[in-house]
Structure 1
Amino acid sequence: MCTAITLNGNSNYFGRNLDLDFSYGEEVIITPAEYEFKFRKEKAIKNHKSLIGVGIVANDYPLYFDAINEDGLGMAGLNFPGNAYYSDALENDKDNITPFEFIPWILGQCSDVNEVRNLVERINLINLSFSEQLPLAGLHWLIADREKSIVVEVTKSGVHIYDNPIGVLTNNPEFNYQMYNLNKYRNLSISTPQNTFSDSVDLKVDGTGFGGIGLPGDVSPKSRFVRVAFSKLNSSKGTTVEEDITQFFHILGTVEQIKGVNKTVSYISI
């Protein structure tokens, strides 16, 4: 139950809410360029781009929930249960990567979204857990550089790479449906609406924010997608980097979840 966004202001920002009912012991992880990334079914990468992000370290291996590399390319994995599909078979003409290796595989090699596309087109995400204690989670990914944003989803129908013109992602359903669902909210506005109820009655407003009536307020993924998109796309740009950072966290704050208001089933997955 997470939300990730990008934001372009005086600089470029990438981040997410990690809305979990409990902690995995997540921490900030820095992976230097000389660290050897080992992969279960592919050759190790000894020289790669340096990474910083949030995750856990298990057996001296960084399990990133999200990260950004030295070129400013960011990537976040968000829960996508029921739709995510990982193959049980290896493919000789593909890069056979497990989901927990996907972030270092991409960020360690790519500088921008165009390079990501080329690498993802060769990917075969395989159903191989890190360990019995750390099984795989069904995920999809938001990936963004300074100019572009995409979503990568691997379902039973194949690998899908979607352009993401709004730079946000939540969870289910699939991204193309989330974008289509925004059509229902064309009436939303940051401005005070005109009276279109009837010409025969003079209706007044007694405050501000009436243009946002109908904006979803619950914490379901579809509602959070609409709400964070509306907040981000209509947010004002700060005059300083500090103001941008504050605005960035305010936007994420519109969809953060309060502990206790959403009862979920607890399970451990990466």
Structure 2
Amino acid sequence: MCTSLTYTNTADQHFFARTMDFPTTTPWRPIFLPRHHRWTTGLNATRTTNQAILGGGRLPIGIADFLMADGINENGISCAELYLPHAVKYEPTAQSGKINLTPQDFINWVLGEHTSLDAVVSELSQVCLVHQTWHGESYVYPFHWILSDTTGRSLIIEPTGGPLSAQPNPSGVLTNTPVLAKHLENLNHYLGVPETVFTPATQQAAQHWIQTDQPLPTGSIPTNRFNQMAIRRLGTPRLTAATTVPTLFDWLNDVRISYDPAKRHQLSHNYTHYRSIIDLDQRQYYFRPRTTEQLQTIQLTDHMCQQWQTPEVFPAD
């Protein structure tokens, strides 16, 4: 039940931000993966990164590989997964001559093996996402992905059948099901724009909505969270360098899902494990966990990229 957005402020600094909403799991925490990191896909194939990665992830019990939910690589590309139930179509089996991956492998492939979004897009047709669990986990998770870079581009990859492809995301926002096209249609309907696709009128309507102080949609339904975040992102005057990170955290806070201790053992209990913001230009990762609310700030430095040779799991709190 995640919510995410890309953002460019008045100083032309580029950001990615998200809530990580998921049922109870092993702790999520900041994780660094080095260049030349050998990792095993869910299909037991070995791959090697050529880009260092910093992002949010976890080390599931009994599994030797890291599961990344979002991150940035040393070339300033970000990628994050969000839930897309009832819409995903994975291939039933691996295909000969393809880059065969399970859904949880996709972020490592994107960030670990590419220096630009164009390079990712050029190889997408070679990727086969296979309907198989990741290292024996209980479920095959339905995902779509939001990618961005230091040019301000925002792309969405949705495996809804056929070869993988990327589509631009003019709203800069993504939540869970439905697919992006339906989210944009719903946004226009909410704003009273008589179109099914994003147009300049969409942004103008969002600006009017904010200027006239109309109430934003609320609740945990993905459509409501998408509309709330899109109206804020599109309608609010561009943020300054000083106000960007605190304001994005405020926006994320308003769409987070509360933790209920009474439901902690229920597999279906979704709640916000952490909120994160990535400064793509500075390669800075801001991580705020639910447990302590204390902000961690970690930079993916040149020294880390060039000298660190082993993964680093940072404290969760």
Does the pair score TM above 0.5? yes
| Equivalent of 1:25 in 24, 27, 46 | 27
Cα distance in 2, alignment partners of residues 245 and 254 from structure 1: 15
Alignment-derived partner of residue 246 in structure 2: 246
1:87 aligns with 2:91: yes
1:171 aligns with 2:173: no
2:207/2:231 contact within 8 Å kept: no
Report Cα offsets for 1:94-115 as digits up to 9, x if no partner: 2111111111111111222211
121-130 or 132-141, larger mean C-alpha shift = 132-141
1:161 aligns with 2:166: yes
Report Cα offsets for 1:140-182 as digits up to 9, x if no partner: 1111112211111112455342211121110111111111222
Q: TM-score, normalised by structure 1?
A: 0.82
1:184 aligns with 2:189: yes
Cα distance in 2, alignment partners of residues 23 and 39 from structure 1: 20
SS at match of 1:105: helix
1:5 aligns with 2:11: no
1:137 aligns with 2:141: yes
1:202-213 alignment, distance < 5 Å: 210-213=212-215
SS at match of 1:119: helix
Cα distance in 2, alignment partners of residues 76 and 236 from structure 1: 26
Using the TM superposition, give the Cα deviation of residue 93 of structure 1 relative to its aligned residue in structure 2, in angstroms.
Answer: 3.3
Unaligned runs of 5+ in 1: 193-207
Cα distance in 2, alignment partners of residues 166 and 158 from structure 1: 24
Alignment-derived partner of residue 225 in structure 1: 226
Cα distance in 1, alignment partners of residues 109 and 257 from structure 2: 31
Aligned in 2, Cα 1:267/1:217: closer, same or farther, shift over 3 Å? closer
Percent of aligned pairs with the same residue? 25
1:54 aligns with 2:56: yes
1:77 aligns with 2:81: yes
Aligned in 2, Cα 1:7/1:33: closer, same or farther, shift over 3 Å? same
2:87/2:179 contact within 8 Å kept: yes
Unaligned runs of 5+ in 2: 193-204, 271-317
Using the TM superposition, give the Cα deviation of residue 91 of structure 1 relative to its aligned residue in structure 2, in angstroms.
Answer: 1.7
2:43/2:134 contact within 8 Å kept: no
Using the TM superposition, give the Cα deviation of residue 190 of structure 1 relative to its aligned residue in structure 2, in angstroms.
Answer: 4.6
Cα distance in 2, alignment partners of residues 96 and 189 from structure 1: 41
Q: TM-score, normalised by structure 2?
A: 0.71
SS at match of 1:75: strand
SS at match of 1:25: coil
Cα distance in 2, alignment partners of residues 148 and 49 from structure 1: 20
| Equivalent of 1:99 in 103, 106, 122 | 103
Tell me the C-alpha RMSD between the 2 structures: 2.7
1:39 aligns with 2:37: no
SS at match of 2:31: strand
1:232/1:251 contact within 8 Å kept: no
Cα distance in 2, alignment partners of residues 186 and 87 from structure 1: 37
Cα distance in 2, alignment partners of residues 180 and 157 from structure 1: 23
Aligned in 2, Cα 1:140/1:239: closer, same or farther, shift over 3 Å? closer
**Structure 1 residue ranges (4+ consecutive) displaced by more than 4 angstroms after TM superposition:** 40-43, 187-192, 208-211
Using the TM superposition, give the Cα deviation of residue 209 of structure 1 relative to its aligned residue in structure 2, in angstroms.
Answer: 6.7
Cα distance in 2, alignment partners of residues 52 and 172 from structure 1: 27
1:255 aligns with 2:260: no
Alignment-derived partner of residue 266 in structure 1: 267
Aligned in 2, Cα 1:28/1:3: closer, same or farther, shift over 3 Å? same
Structure number with bigger Rg: 1
Highest RCO, 1 vs 2 (Cα 8 Å, sep ≥ 6): 2
Q: How many residues of Structure 1 are paired with residues of Structure 2 in the alignment?
A: 250
Cα distance in 2, alignment partners of residues 209 and 235 from structure 1: 8
2:43/2:100 contact within 8 Å kept: yes
| Equivalent of 1:63 in 59, 64, 67 | 67
SS at match of 1:60: coil
Using the TM superposition, give the Cα deviation of residue 27 of structure 1 relative to its aligned residue in structure 2, in angstroms.
Answer: 1.2
